[in-house]
Amino acid sequence: TVAAHPELLDRELPSLDTRVDMTADAVPKLAQCAAAKAIAEWGRPAADITHLVFSTYSACQAPSADLRLAALLGLRPTVSRTMLSLHGCYGGGRALSLAKELAENNRGARVLVACSEMTLVCFGAPDGGNIVGHALFGDGAGAVVVGAGPFLDGERRPIFEMVSATQTTIPRTEHALGMRVSGGGIDFHLAIQVPTLVGQNVEQCLVDAFRGAIVDDDDHDGGAAPPPPSPCSGNGNGRWNDLFWAVHPGGRPILDKIDKVLMLEAEKLAASRHVLREYGNLSGATIVFVLDELRRGRSPLPEWGALLAFGPGITIEAMVLRCPR
């Protein structure tokens, strides 16, 4: 491919058309592989999917990749589609939050979330300034099915419950992390201050998310789930370690900073570190890989957990998760 398209290596040559043409089919086909597995595990036919949320930075044309994926999976013509584009590494978190809102506000809805990324749109010859980026980022797709009951015959019981979600943009950080489409593909900009900026703001984002999840004791009866822990002051009063953690592994410095700020025990970000080590940063799809790693773990998870994803803005997606008992 590179031999046939030398423009992919030389950023001075126009290559956007080539990149768009090559990813037009590849991105939805990659998503199809993940989505077919998710639907099979869900236990119902693809025709029962009512909504589709597709997140990618790797495809930019219309009709877009969500329509192509719907056709590949045989979804109904009436499926309600939403395309999230250029959200970058927080795209998976945003897609899950949107799916949660759709499922909760449309009785009987079953939302397919698909995230698919290919680095071809930004690949170029190593020039000394992009070696780390090429080593860090990878190609991949993840998919989940989201619903809010009532349960259907044959439907698998939920693995994670999304209880509360927030999105926060750190003011005056637009310069620190971003993407730009140019004639040579997509250019990324990542400032060295990003881990520090995330570290300075992540705890308040978590506090806000948990505040939204806390239910008054009067709302519970004997059969209801207990309220989530309330780690809402200074380092969570040590209670951040009571949770399981699904954190987007944007890079080792970001994970190290979160570890330090929240004073997490060594194994708390093990799933994120494993995904980073084995697959790299898959942008928006990475958080699905982390959730999958958590559910396949050998040890039982705590009942309550937290999800974090970061991307351009700087934007932080935070979510309170629960493992149904």
Q: Are 91 and 57 in contact (CB under 8 A)?
A: yes
Q: What pLDDT is attached to residue 234?
A: 46
Q: What pLDDT is attached to residue 251?
A: 93
Q: What pLDDT is attached to residue 84?
A: 96
Strand 304-311 relative to strand 244-247, pairing? parallel
Q: What pLDDT is attached to residue 228?
A: 72
Give CATH for domain 161-322: 3.40.47.10
Instruction: Say how far apart CA 255 and CA 199 lie, in whole Å.
Output: 9
- For residue 315, give the amino acid letter: T
Range 172-181 burial, b when 16+ CB lie within 10 A, else e = ebeebbbbeb
Q: Where are the domains of the chain?
A: 2-148, 161-322
Tell me the torsion sign for CA atoms 159, 289, 44, 114.
Answer: positive
Tokens of 171: 């003011």
DSSP tag of 47: G
Q: How many CA atoms lie within 13 A of 265 on its CB side?
A: 10
Helices (H) then strands (E): counts for the chain: 8, 10
Asked if domains 2-148 and 161-322 share a fold, the reply is yes
Instruction: Say how far apart CA 287 and CA 245 lie, in whole Å.
Output: 11
* Distances in whole angstroms, Cα of residue 23 to Cα of each of 13, 32, 54, 59, 139: 18, 14, 15, 6, 12
Q: Domain 2-148's class?
A: alpha beta
Q: What pLDDT is attached to residue 18?
A: 86
Scanning the structure block, which residue is given the tokens 């592989």?
33
* Distances in whole angstroms, Cα of residue 235 to Cα of each of 59, 249, 261, 268: 40, 21, 7, 15
The yes-or-no answer on residue 89 being catalytic is yes
Q: Return the number of other C-beta atoms located less than 10 Å from residue 110's C-beta.
A: 21
Tokens of 89: 């590494």
Q: Are 280 and 138 in contact (CB under 8 A)?
A: yes
Q: What pLDDT is attached to residue 131?
A: 65
DSSP tag of 137: B
Q: What pLDDT is attached to residue 236?
A: 47
Low-confidence ranges of the chain (pLDDT < 70): 1, 125-133, 215-227, 229-238
Q: Are 99 and 148 in contact (CB under 8 A)?
A: no
- Tell which residue, 228, 269, 263, has the closest CA to residue 245: 269
DSSP tag of 281: B
Question: What's the length of the chain?
Answer: 325
DSSP tag of 156: P
Q: Which of 89, 115, 122, 205 is catalytic?
A: 89
